[in-house]
């Protein structure tokens, strides 16, 4: 049995349990019955076919941003700019969708491509500054998040504003993504999962992905062994931006249809959190994103049924990340390993 | 004679492994007492116990005849024990003055009383001949001066007993002489010194008594006058020291790599190259001798394409190298055993298997469709074959490389670098920190590569290794080549002089 | 452009720089002990909310600031335990704090105020001039007297920090922990204790910085009111080259751009106001790009410290 793998699954699970435990205490303090509340939460997220569709729809942008974070971190760069890249993608997509007049499948492809390009370019800024100026990619990418948010503000309050409400016009029906089985969930979810699978294949089954991971784990050794470290860093930034950019476009074409205040807000950091909980595994990231989406969708039902405010579910989500990261560090400590050995004396020496 | 320190029956276990077993040591006032032993003989563990960094599993320590418990470095300092670690404990961003007064508890007040402290330090430094420039940052002074700062630091804290852990490893002969003068002065003033080394010449020169450790146990304590270098070496290794048993080659061959007047950061004495001209022929080992930090790292990085020269030319297999990149050199079949295996050689968080095929995942042997599909089964089978062939001891090839011992890590690198029969092998300190068995394995493998026609550039600070392995020897000092000598009956005296820049 | 525009701009710069000074000093103390804490945004957020609530309840902005400070310390103890004792990666855990603390703040706000949309407002801290009952006339009296207690505190802290790190024995030891903890330990300095102390100071100052926003700057709490100041503070520490004086200049510089954008928004020039709001963020990127990054800063930042036993 591989202990490391066991722990990498066990730690997040225990963290989720602990977070729910604290969540239940909070519910009890708020004079709600935790069992009823959790039941409502479950029902809201997965109770009906319709709710499952809603949960998957909510998970879609989260999958994109967490894959974005995963991909960059695998190469050792902390792209905290997922949100900005997501927004720039959606802005470019919005322009193509509303201004180009191209519709149908070519229109959709063009919209997504524009979003991918914009996301990638926005990510190239911190990538290039890191490579050529040795600059801290975290601060730069976060600053660019604020710039992107404000820029989107310009777009929906000015340039593409429709009527008196500060929002853009809606994208035409012809480029909206198709709903799956008549649910709220659209083909965007399929795109997200396919991208996740592709990333998984790339990272673990191709030579380039292998080298990219090596760069992420030890840049000096990678350089000595002939890998072009700078190219990989730039590539990982660009591609993680592309993923976020497609995510922004898909969210626009599949769910929101127009840019408006609060579009995409918080998705970037959510993505980082999920990537960390998933320990940078792209397939795990998809599952974690669905779990987080379920908490969010279910919490609305919970609030309606038991009066427990939705922010309780936000606290649970935040606690999961706090516990997971701490737990993963804990199980690596020599003291913890020694403790385990005392607890379960080794059956056979390896 | 008055006894300063007595360590009795010291035992230290790490898990099931005895790092120290029933060690006895006593130090008299005013003597230089040498601890002699190979890597892993238990010298450092014993000294870390004395300095309170480790707690002994068993045994007692007496200072001035009184039993003491040393639970932390702070206690050791209070008891008058000072230690100069092999890797200096100096804060580079701070000045000499700041380093000396750091952690000071003897003076009152919140603020640093610069004038008073400076006066004290200058008095000390004059008394023991430890001249240092107080206001220079540590980064701006030479290694020898940094060592003087360390000694001053210990004396400033009232050390009566000084432990010097391999203090000569990074020094030139001149600097070593200076250090020995200081040591004489210190013992003359009644201080005692524990000197750790494995350089026979120095040990015989400076010690009053010598205690030999082997495999964690005390072998013997001898007076200097009553022993010879040969006896010490035999006691240290535990058997007769076999002379070099490798056949040397002498005839000149077509060069694999030739450097002509190569410059890199010329002004830097310790990290540059100045007009270096040398060549490595097919089927020979060229040994680069020299004290660490005289441009060897830069030379190694240059002939593996990591850095590019600022002047001069490099010819690789007969054609001039235009662009320098590790990848370019690798595709010209140049292999590299880098100086820091954990930092430069291995991806520690990847498995032994992944590290073995690190450079070759694009190869059709390991992937289809130009690298777009890895053949996982073929990779694993190959890695297991290499595990057998290079005697890599690990639980499985899936074990993370960072969990292997140094010797086995080096074997992983050998398997990667030597299996595809390179034209040039650049090996930097290939046996540093390895035990005798692993060292022998690495040496045998390198000789075998040479005999297959590979040119080997061996860079090592271990003079004995250079003498044993090299067919030709080049000495480097402050980035320049000081001379070239035959590896057959090499003129040892001339070479040591050249290493000191003469 | 008339003189009043310039003087108002400068006065506003000082005001806008103040929260940045607190938060940047927080990071300075943290990094000087070898802890890179990117969770400042989160710490400031919780400080801001708690400061707001306590000053609302007690009608005392000063008590609000104290409470914000305590909240910052408490939350940062999570970071300290995880990174110092459990040796979790500092960057990763800083992000965790950035996600956890705002969620906690939002939660407390919703629970306490309900999800009603009416804005609750507090009384802001009064300036020295107000307290003394005078109306400052010219630029200098405004600059020197028309400021809240927090502004004076910020500058006093800068002076204190500069003296502490450069002139005192304790400050020298503190810096050694951030540069080379092993060497510090061999000299009898308690590395772990120093790092925890650094985390207390960091949490306190970041909490104060956040509380400043809700007790001295705006009369109400809204989610996201820290608006990236926690991250700009990180840039300010780099820009200020890890010295108290440098950090002060960097904060004034960034404060100036913040003040400038507000003034320009008012002036409008026919451009969408968001472009002006971008100025502080763009300035941060440009400054970082220009100064480049010679490997600087305390050497042990980001690395966990362990007493080494084999």
Q: How confident is the model at residue C133 (pLDDT cuts 50, 70, 90)?
A: confident
Q: Does the pLDDT of residue A347 top 80, yes or no?
A: no
Q: Determine which helix (DSSP H) or strand (DSSP E) holds C32, and give its type and residue range.
A: helix C3-32
**Residue B223 contacts A, CB cutoff 8 Å:** no
Q: Determine which helix (DSSP H) or strand (DSSP E) holds A55, and give its type and residue range.
A: helix A49-74
- Percent of chain C beyond pLDDT 70? 95
pLDDT score for A231: 94
Q: What ranges in C33-89 are assigned the alpha helix state H?
A: 40-58, 61-80
Q: CATH code at A240?
A: 1.10.3470
**Residue B122 contacts C, CB cutoff 8 Å:** no
Q: Which chains touch B (3 or more CB pairs under 8 A)?
A: A, C
To test the contact with chain B by mutation, choose from C173, C186, C309 the residue with the greatest count of B C-beta atoms within 10 A, namely C186
With DSSP H G I counted as helix, E B as strand and the rest as coil, what are the percentages for chain A, rounded to 5?
A: 75, 0, 20
Measured from the Cβ of residue B65, the count of other Cβ atoms closer than 10 Å reads 10
d(CA B269, CA C103): 55
Q: Is residue A239 part of a domain?
A: yes
Chain A to chain C Cβ contacts (< 8 Å):
137
Owning domain of residue A192: 55-308
Contact C169 B74 (CB under 8 A): no
Asked if B350 contacts B409 with a C-beta cutoff of 8 angstroms, the reply is no
Contact C186 B54 (CB under 8 A): no
Q: 3-state class of B280 per DSSP?
A: strand
Minimal-distance CA residue of chain B relative to A220: B344
Q: In what order do the strands lie in the sheet with B455-459?
A: B334-337, B424-428, B455-459, B285-289, B472-477, B480-486
pLDDT score for C41: 96
B374 CB neighbours in chain A (<8 A) are: 204-207, 210
d(CA B158, CA C112): 61
Distance from CA of A125 to the nearest CA of C (A): 10
Q: Is residue A228 part of a domain?
A: yes
d(CA C37, CA C194): 15
pLDDT score for A346: 57
Q: Is residue A169 part of a domain?
A: yes
Q: Is residue A192 part of a domain?
A: yes
Contact B102 C299 (CB under 8 A): no
Quick: pLDDT tens for C145-182: 778 899 999 999 999 999 999 999 999 999 999 999 99
Measured from the Cβ of residue A177, the count of other Cβ atoms closer than 10 Å reads 24
Query: What residue ranges do the domains of chain B occupy?
Result: 3-237, 244-333+422-502, 341-419
pLDDT score for C310: 41
Tens-digit pLDDT string for chain B (502 aa): 688 999 999 999 877 778 889 999 999 999 999 998 877 788 888 999 999 888 999 999 999 999 999 988 888 988 999 999 888 999 999 999 999 999 877 777 888 888 989 999 999 999 888 889 999 999 888 888 999 999 999 999 989 999 998 888 777 777 888 899 999 999 999 999 999 987 777 888 899 999 998 888 888 898 988 888 778 878 877 765 555 578 888 776 789 999 999 999 888 777 889 999 999 999 999 999 988 788 899 999 999 999 999 989 999 998 899 889 999 999 999 999 998 898 999 999 999 999 999 998 888 889 888 889 999 999 999 999 999 999 888 888 998 898 888 888 999 999 999 988 899 999 999 988 777 778 888 999 999 999 999 999 999 887 888 888 999 999 998 889 999 998 888 888 888 788 877 7
d(CA A47, CA A298): 9
Q: Hey, which residues does A161 pair with through a beta bridge?
A: A168
A228 CB neighbours in chain B (<8 A) are: 325, 327
**Residue C310 contacts B, CB cutoff 8 Å:** yes
To test the contact with chain B by mutation, choose from A198, A207, A223 the residue with the greatest count of B C-beta atoms within 10 A, namely A207
Task: Give backbone dihedrals phi and psi of A215, rounded to 5 degrees, phi first.
Answer: -60, -45
Contact C99 A321 (CB under 8 A): yes
Q: Is residue A227 part of a domain?
A: yes
- Overall domain count for chain A: 1
Catalogue the E-assigned strands of B325-450: 334-337, 367-368, 373-374, 424-428
Spell out the residues 6+ positions from residue B447 whose beta carbon is closer than 8 angstroms to its own: B246, B285, B469
Asked if B90 contacts B99 with a C-beta cutoff of 8 angstroms, the reply is yes
Distance from CA of B495 to the nearest CA of C (A): 36
B376 CB neighbours in chain A (<8 A) are: 205
pLDDT score for B203: 86
pLDDT score for A292: 95
Question: What single DSSP character describes residue A132?
Answer: H
pLDDT score for C135: 78
Distance from CA of B28 to the nearest CA of C (A): 25
d(CA B134, CA B122): 9
Quick: pLDDT tens for A256-315: 999 999 898 889 999 999 999 999 999 999 999 999 999 999 999 999 998 888 889 989
Q: In what order do the strands lie in the sheet with B319-320?
A: B273-281, B255-264, B311-316, B319-320
Compute and round to an integer the Cα radius of gyration of chain A: 21
Asked if B399 contacts B352 with a C-beta cutoff of 8 angstroms, the reply is yes
Instruction: Give this prediction's pTM.
Output: 0.91
d(CA B441, CA A332): 33
To test the contact with chain B by mutation, choose from C181, C183, C294 the residue with the greatest count of B C-beta atoms within 10 A, namely C183
Minimal-distance CA residue of chain B relative to C186: B73
pLDDT score for B492: 81
C91 CB neighbours in chain A (<8 A) are: 78, 138
Burial class (CB in 10 A: 0-12, 13-18, 19+), C156: exposed
Distances (CA, A) of A135 to A269, B310, C244: 21, 26, 22
pLDDT score for C295: 58
Closest CA to B353 of B309, B399, B388: B399
Q: CATH code at C218?
A: 1.10.3470
Q: 3-state class of C80 per DSSP?
A: helix
Work out the angle between the directed axes of helices B114-128 and B173-188 (0-180°, nearest 10).
100
Contact A144 C285 (CB under 8 A): yes
Q: Is residue A138 part of a domain?
A: yes
Contact A218 B371 (CB under 8 A): no
Q: Does the pLDDT of residue C80 top 90, yes or no?
A: yes
- Rounded to the nearest integer, the mean pLDDT of chain A is 91
Q: Are strands B455-459 and B424-428 parallel, antiparallel or unpaired?
A: parallel
- Topology of B244-333+422-502 in CATH? Rossmann fold (3.40.50)
Minimal-distance CA residue of chain C relative to A148: C278
C182 closest CB neighbour out of B83, B89, B93? B89
Q: Does the pLDDT of residue C115 top 70, yes or no?
A: no
pLDDT score for B244: 56
Owning domain of residue C57: 3-118+146-291
- Find the range with the poorest average confidence among A157-166, A209-218, B21-30, B311-320: A157-166
Minimal-distance CA residue of chain A relative to B346: A221
A147 CB neighbours in chain C (<8 A) are: 278, 281-282, 285
Minimal-distance CA residue of chain B relative to C308: B53
pLDDT score for A341: 77
Quick: pLDDT tens for A124-139: 999 999 998 888 889 9
Contact B344 A214 (CB under 8 A): no
A207 closest CB neighbour out of B326, B329, B362? B362
A146 CB neighbours in chain C (<8 A) are: 227-228, 278, 281
B51 CB neighbours in chain C (<8 A) are: 186
pLDDT score for A343: 78
Work out the angle between the directed axes of helices C191-212 and C3-32 (0-180°, nearest 10).
160
d(CA B163, CA B25): 13
Helices (H) and strands (E) in chain C, counts: 14, 0
Minimal-distance CA residue of chain A relative to B307: A224
Q: 3-state class of C143 per DSSP?
A: helix
The answer to whether B3-237 and B244-333+422-502 have equal CATH topology is: yes
**Residue B116 contacts C, CB cutoff 8 Å:** no
d(CA C68, CA C209): 9
A210 closest CB neighbour out of B331, B338, B374? B374
Contact A224 B304 (CB under 8 A): yes
Distance from CA of B149 to the nearest CA of C (A): 13
d(CA C62, CA C156): 17
C82 closest CB neighbour out of A80, A273, A329? A329
| Structure-derived torsion over alpha carbons of residues A57, A58, A60, A65, reported in degrees to the nearest 10 | 170
C176 closest CB neighbour out of B91, B109, B111? B91
Distance from CA of A59 to the nearest CA of C (A): 18
Q: Does the pLDDT of residue A181 top 90, yes or no?
A: no
Distances (CA, A) of B297 to A309, A335, B367, B426: 62, 37, 34, 11
A203 CB neighbours in chain B (<8 A) are: none
**Residue C241 contacts B, CB cutoff 8 Å:** no
- Percent of chain A beyond pLDDT 90? 72
C69 vs C304, which has greater pLDDT?
A: C69
Quick: pLDDT tens for A182-201: 788 889 999 999 999 999 99
Contact C184 B77 (CB under 8 A): no
The alpha carbon of B38 is separated from its chain's Cα centroid by a whole number of angstroms, namely: 12
Q: Hey, which residues does B17 pair with through a beta bridge?
A: B14
Q: How confident is the model at residue C307 (pLDDT cuts 50, 70, 90)?
A: low
- Find the range with the poorest average confidence among A78-82, A329-333, C99-103: A329-333
**Residue B406 contacts A, CB cutoff 8 Å:** no
HSE of C4 in the Cβ direction (CA atoms, 13 Å)?
2
Q: Is residue A20 part of a domain?
A: no
Q: Does domain B3-237 have CATH number 3.40.50.300?
A: yes
Q: 3-state class of C308 per DSSP?
A: coil
Contact B103 C179 (CB under 8 A): no
Asked if B470 contacts B487 with a C-beta cutoff of 8 angstroms, the reply is yes
- Percent of chain C beyond pLDDT 90? 64
CB < 8 Å from A in window 311-370 of B? 325-327, 329-331, 336, 338, 343-350, 354, 358-359, 361-362, 366-367
Q: Is residue A286 part of a domain?
A: yes
Asked if C46 contacts C67 with a C-beta cutoff of 8 angstroms, the reply is no
Q: Are strands B217-223 and B209-214 parallel, antiparallel or unpaired?
A: antiparallel
């Amino acid at each position: 049995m591989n202990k490391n793998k066991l722990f990498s699954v066990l730690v997040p699970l225990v963290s989720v349990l602990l977070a729910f435990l604290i969540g239940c205490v909070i519910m009890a303090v708020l004079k709600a019955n935790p069992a009823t509340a959790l039941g409502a939460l479950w029902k809201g997220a997965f109770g009906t076919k319709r709710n499952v569709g809603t949960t998957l729809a909510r998970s879609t942008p989260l999958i994109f941003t967490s894959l974005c974070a995963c991909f960059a971190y695998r190469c050792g760069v902390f792209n905290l700019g997922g949100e900005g890249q997501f927004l720039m993608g959606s802005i470019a997509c919005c322009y193509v969708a509303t201004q180009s007049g191209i519709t149908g499948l070519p229109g959709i492809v063009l919209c997504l491509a524009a979003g991918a390009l914009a996301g990638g370019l926005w990510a190239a800024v911190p990538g290039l500054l890191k490579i050529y100026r040795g600059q801290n990619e975290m601060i730069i990418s976060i600053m660019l998040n604020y710039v992107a948010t404000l820029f989107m503000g310009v777009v929906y309050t000015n340039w593409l504003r429709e009527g008196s409400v500060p929002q853009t016009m809606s994208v035409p029906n012809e480029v909206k993504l198709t709903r799956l089985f008549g649910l709220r969930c659209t083909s965007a979810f399929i795109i997200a999962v396919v991208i996740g699978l592709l990333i998984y294949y790339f990272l673990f089954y191709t030579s380039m992905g292998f080298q990219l991971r090596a760069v992420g784990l030890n840049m000096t050794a990678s350089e000595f062994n002939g890998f072009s470290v700078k190219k990989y860093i730039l590539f990982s930034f660009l591609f993680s931006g592309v993923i976020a950019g497609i995510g922004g476009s898909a969210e626009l074409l599949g769910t929101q249809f127009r840019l408006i205040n609060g579009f995409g807000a918080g998705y970037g950091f959510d993505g980082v959190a999920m990537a960390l909980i998933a320990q940078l595994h792209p397939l795990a990231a998809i599952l974690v994103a669905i779990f987080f989406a379920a908490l969010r969708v279910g919490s609305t039902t919970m609030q309606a049924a038991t009066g427990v405010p939705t922010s309780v579910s936000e606290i649970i989500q935040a606690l999961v990340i706090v516990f997971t990261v701490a737990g993963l560090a804990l199980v690596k400590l020599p003291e913890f390993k020694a403790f385990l050995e005392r607890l379960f004396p080794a059956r056979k020496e390896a | 004679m008055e006894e300063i320190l007595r360590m009795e029956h010291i035992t230290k276990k790490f898990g099931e492994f005895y790092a120290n077993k029933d060690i006895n040591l006593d130090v008299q006032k005013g003597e230089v007492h040498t601890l002699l032993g190979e890597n892993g003989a238990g010298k450092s563990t014993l000294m870390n116990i004395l300095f309170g960094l480790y707690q002994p599993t068993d045994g007692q320590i007496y200072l001035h005849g009184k039993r003491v418990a040393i639970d932390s470095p702070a206690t050791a300092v209070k008891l008058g024990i000072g230690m100069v670690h092999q890797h200096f404990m100096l804060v580079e961003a701070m000045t000499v003055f700041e380093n000396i007064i750091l952690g000071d508890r003897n003076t009152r007040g919140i603020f640093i009383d610069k004038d008073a402290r400076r006066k004290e330090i200058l008095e000390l430094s004059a008394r023991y001949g430890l001249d240092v420039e107080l206001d220079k940052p540590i980064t701006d002074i030479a290694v020898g001066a940094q060592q003087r700062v360390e000694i001053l630091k210990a004396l400033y804290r009232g050390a009566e007993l000084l432990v010097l852990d391999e203090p000569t490893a990074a020094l030139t002969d001149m600097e070593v002489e200076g250090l020995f003068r200081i040591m004489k002065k210190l013992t003359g003033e009644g201080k005692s010194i524990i000197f750790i080394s494995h350089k026979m010449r120095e040990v015989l020169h400076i010690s009053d008594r010598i205690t030999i450790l082997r495999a964690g146990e005390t072998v013997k304590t001898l007076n200097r006058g009553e022993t010879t270098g040969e006896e010490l070496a035999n006691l240290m290794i535990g058997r007769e020291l076999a002379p070099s048993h490798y056949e040397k080659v002498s005839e000149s061959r077509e060069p694999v790599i030739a450097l002509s007047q190569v410059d890199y950061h010329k002004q830097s004495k310790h990290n540059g190259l100045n007009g270096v001209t040398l060549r490595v022929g097919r089927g020979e080992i060229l040994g680069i001798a020299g004290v660490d930090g005289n441009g060897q790292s830069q030379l190694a990085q240059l002939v593996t394409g990591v850095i590019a020269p600022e002047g001069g030319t490099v010819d690789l297999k007969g054609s001039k190298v235009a662009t320098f990149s590790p990848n370019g050199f690798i595709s010209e079949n140049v292999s590299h055993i880098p100086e820091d295996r954990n930092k430069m050689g291995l991806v520690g968080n990847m498995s032994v298997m992944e590290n073995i095929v690190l450079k070759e995942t694009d190869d059709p042997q390991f992937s289809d469709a130009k690298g777009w599909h890895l053949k996982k089964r073929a990779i694993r089978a190959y890695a297991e074959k290499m595990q057998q062939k290079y005697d890599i001891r690990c639980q499985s090839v899936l074990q993370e490389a960072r969990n292997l011992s140094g010797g086995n890590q080096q074997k992983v690198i050998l398997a990667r670098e030597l299996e595809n029969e390179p034209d040039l092998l650049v090996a930097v300190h290939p046996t540093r920190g390895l035990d005798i068995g692993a060292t022998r394995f690495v040496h045998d493998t390198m000789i075998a590569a040479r005999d297959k026609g590979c040119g080997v550039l061996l860079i090592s600070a271990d003079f004995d290794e250079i003498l044993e392995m090299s067919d030709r020897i080049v000495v480097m000092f402050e980035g320049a080549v000081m001379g070239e000598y035959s590896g057959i009956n090499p003129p040892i005296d001339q070479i040591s002089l050249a290493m000191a820049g003469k | 452009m008339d003189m009043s525009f310039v003087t108002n701009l400068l006065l506003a710069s000082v005001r806008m720089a103040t929260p940045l000074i607190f938060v940047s000093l927080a990071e300075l103390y943290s990094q000087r002990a070898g802890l890179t804490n990117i969770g400042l945004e989160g710490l400031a957020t919780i400080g801001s909310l708690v400061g707001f609530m306590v000053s609302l309840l007690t009608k005392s902005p000063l008590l609000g600031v104290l409470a914000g400070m305590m909240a910052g310390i408490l939350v940062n103890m999570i970071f300290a335990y995880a990174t110092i004792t459990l040796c979790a990666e500092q960057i990763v855990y800083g992000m965790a704090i950035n996600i956890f603390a705002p969620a906690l703040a939002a939660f407390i706000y919703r629970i306490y105020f309900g999800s009603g949309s009416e804005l609750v407002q507090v009384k802001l801290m009064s300036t020295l001039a107000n307290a003394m009952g005078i109306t400052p006339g010219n630029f200098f009296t405004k600059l020197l007297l028309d400021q809240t207690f927090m502004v004076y505190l910020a500058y006093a802290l800068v002076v204190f920090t500069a003296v502490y790190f450069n002139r005192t024995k304790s400050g020298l030891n503190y810096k050694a922990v951030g540069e080379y903890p092993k060497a510090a330990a061999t000299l009898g300095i308690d590395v772990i204790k120093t790092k925890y102390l650094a985390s207390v100071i960091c949490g306190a100052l970041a909490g104060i910085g956040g509380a400043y926003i809700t007790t001295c700057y705006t009369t109400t709490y809204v989610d996201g009111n820290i608006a990236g100041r926690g991250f700009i503070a990180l840039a300010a520490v780099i820009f200020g080259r890890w010295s108290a004086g440098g950090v002060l200049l960097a904060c004034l510089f960034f404060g100036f751009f913040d003040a400038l954008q507000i003034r320009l928004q008012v002036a409008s020039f026919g451009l969408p106001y968001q472009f002006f709001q971008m100025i502080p963020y763009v300035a941060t990127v440009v400054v970082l790009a220009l100064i480049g990054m010679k490997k600087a800063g305390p050497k042990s930042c980001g690395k966990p410290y362990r007493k080494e036993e084999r």
